Amino acid sequence: MSMGELPSLTIPRYVFKHPRPRKPDIPRIYEAHVGMSGEKPEVYREFAENVLPRIRAKNYNTVQLMAIMEHSYYASFGYHVTNFFAVSSKSGTPEDLKYLVDKAHSLGLRVLMDVVHSHASKNVTDGLNGYDVGQSAQESYFNTGDRGYHKLWDSRLFNYTNWEVLRFLLSNLRYWMDEFMFDGFRFDGVTSMLYNHHGINMSFTGNYKEYFDLDTNVDAIIYMMLANHLIHKLLPEATIIAEDVSGMPVLCRPVDEGGVGFDYRQAMAIPERWVDYLKNKDAHELSMSGISQTLNNRNKDQTIILGRREYYGP
């Protein structure tokens, strides 16, 4: 380096060494937040070295990673995203995350990303909020007025009628698949996307009028159909999961059959009932009819994922 020449700040790009594991017939998924995976805050490389082997040893075949996209509010568990194309800097660099995914693949573990396309942080200085100020309601990234704000999540809601929003979100999915070799996604907050009421104060009974009426968010459903079609086109063996509490009948039917295209619905009621029994009930208080109803409360053609959330490692 000559006198006065600035040093290079180029970071070597990580080169993946291991192929994607084949798609399992039955996914056994371990959900993890890298920063909360041990007694001390973990980073991507430490998680790869210390936690992944333990997950594999417990006979899981898939890891689902939370809080991957950049977010400023740590207590949001990564769900108030401020930058959709940036790796969360709290846990390391993009190359560190690539190392983690590659390490998982070397152990035969597939890696799913918890993707948040249902809403975004309301932050202006470090988020998308305010990016579209001055544009018309049709051209804005977020819905205007009350439709653009989720009162329970305190966050902004995307305007799925805008083609630029569709391009932004679809390219975001491809970015994470191509650049970081994720094997699929778990879509967060799908119930909020399916309905204009976002599922707030709703008790779904299975009546089809609850799923297909004027409260159905057709534009968001079209986006999810496009997303699932794109993902399966790019990676036919991808695994795509929808977090939905409503039991939307066609959620897990193929797009070419008129379905939304997800592979699985994450059935939240089953683990919640199980945890309630473990924490609050004695053995003689267990309701077999209640257990049966919870297990069978789904469309017979719908594939579901059962499981309990764990934030603190194996």
Q: How is the chain split into domains, by residue range?
A: 29-305
This prediction's pTM:
0.89
Give the pLDDT confidence score for residue 311 in this predicted structure.
Answer: 43
Give the span between the Cα atoms of 265 and 243, in whole angstroms: 6
Give the pLDDT confidence score for residue 308 in this predicted structure.
Answer: 52
Residues belonging to the active site: 188, 243
Q: Which fold has domain 29-305?
A: TIM Barrel (3.20.20)
Element containing residue 276 per DSSP (H, E) = helix 269-280
Give the pLDDT confidence score for residue 302 in this predicted structure.
Answer: 72
CA dist 79 → 72, 216, 261 (Å): 10, 23, 23
Q: What number of other Cβ atoms are within 10 A of residue 127's Cβ?
A: 21
* pLDDT of the chain, 314 residues: tens digit per residue: 566 666 666 778 999 999 999 999 999 999 999 988 877 777 999 999 999 999 999 999 999 999 999 999 888 888 999 999 999 999 999 999 999 999 999 999 999 999 999 999 999 999 999 888 777 777 899 999 999 999 999 999 999 999 999 999 999 999 999 999 999 999 999 999 999 999 999 988 888 999 999 999 999 999 999 999 999 999 999 999 999 989 899 999 999 999 999 999 997 767 777 777 778 887 777 777 777 766 766 676 778 787 654 444 43
Distance linking the first and last C-alpha atoms of the chain? 48
